[in-house]
Amino acid sequence: MIYIILSICCSVIVAILLKLAKRYQINIIQAVISNYLMAIVLCYFFFKPNLNFITTNAPWAIYLSLGILLPSIFLFLAASIKNLGIVKTDIAQRLSLFIPILAAYFLFKEDFSLVKFLGLGTGFLAILFTFIRKSENNKEIKNWIYPVTVFVGFGVIDVLFKQVALNKAIPYTTSLFTIFCIAFLVATIIVLVKVINHRTKIQLVNLGCGLILGLFNFGNILFYLKAHQYFSKNPSTVFGAMNLGVIALGTLIGVLIFKEKLSVLNYIGILLAICAVLLITISQLYAV
């Protein structure tokens, strides 16, 4: 259970760091570069990837897609936390699990139980209630693009990572290392273009903050994988505890520490999100 708790804490700390980035005027895209550099180093140290498996037969289309999506969605994640807060962004990220579930139903023709359908329906109601406000101006409506992109983006990323996991010819951690390298290159190219166009200047403080960000970002992945190894016969325990834990802890941090304002409807949305995750977990655990 300690691995699940550590993974939850690392995930929420990443959100806190992105929230603080606004306060201290940290350039996120520059931080993303060193974030993936740290991930590459730690991935190499902890997982010992065997690069001999990476040949022309590797699923390069998926690798490249993930390498581009990861830093891109990371920027939307930061923007969502900046504009809408930790609570709503964490829920959007956690409920993105419904994208791979829908993909399983429509693309891979998996059988669905009544409980899973109820979980999906509850999840979409949760999204509606979490982001709805009594009155919204044009700026607030435009801000919806951030959590919506986080929701869809992380869902697509999850689907792609599941496809990577299905490739038994290449160890998952070796694929992960390769994807991090591509993401690092993509982020570096974006920053170099901005520097060449005189739109930004590289600052060491941004890179330093990115290293800290990368430490906790990788910690989230490492402890999540270790939790799945420990609960190998009951992955639904990890799935449910992780998502519920992040929603609960993220809500507490957002409301109590950062004083994020939520309406009664938003709190109903949070409760619905918890119910949705519980229903999906139950459907996977008992296959009813």
pLDDT of residue 87: 93
pLDDT digits (tens, 9 = 90+) for 23-45: 899 999 999 999 999 999 999 99
Residue among 254, 270, 225, 218 nearest 95 (CA): 270
Question: What 3-state class would DSSP assign to 135?
Answer: coil
How is residue 86 written in tokens?
């930790």
Residue among 278, 222, 224 nearest 247 (CA): 278
pLDDT digits (tens, 9 = 90+) for 170-218: 999 999 999 999 999 999 999 999 999 878 889 999 999 999 999 999 9
Please state, in angstroms and rounded to a whole number, the distance separating the CA atoms of residues 86 and 18.
Answer: 9
CA atoms within 13 A on the CB side of 89: 30
pLDDT digits (tens, 9 = 90+) for 133-157: 655 555 566 788 999 999 999 999 9
pTM equals 0.91
Residue among 9, 16, 17, 4 nearest 206 (CA): 17
Please state, in angstroms and rounded to a whole number, the distance separating the CA atoms of residues 109 and 106.
Answer: 6
pLDDT of 283 over the 90 cut: no
Question: Which position has the higher pLDDT, 287 or 167?
Answer: 167
pLDDT digits (tens, 9 = 90+) for 244-277: 999 999 999 999 999 998 889 999 999 999 999 9
How is residue 54 written in tokens?
């990476």
Query: What is the number of domains present in the chain?
Result: 1
For residue 55, what are the domain limits?
2-286
Please answer whether residues 59 and 163 qualify as being in contact, where contact means their C-beta atoms are separated by less than 8 angstroms. Answer: yes
CA atoms within 13 A on the CB side of 185: 12
pLDDT of residue 136: 55
Q: Which amino acid is at 218?
A: F
Question: What 3-state class would DSSP assign to 16?
Answer: helix
pLDDT of residue 288: 45
Residue among 88, 93, 73 nearest 129 (CA): 88
What's the mean pLDDT in 93-114? 82
pLDDT of residue 61: 97
Q: Which amino acid is at 213?
A: L
CA atoms within 13 A on the CB side of 99: 20
Mean of pLDDT over the chain: 90
What's the mean pLDDT in 275-286? 84
pLDDT of residue 135: 52
Q: Which amino acid is at 148?
A: V
Q: What percent of the chain has pLDDT over 90?
A: 68
Please state, in angstroms and rounded to a whole number, the distance separating the CA atoms of residues 143 and 23.
Answer: 18
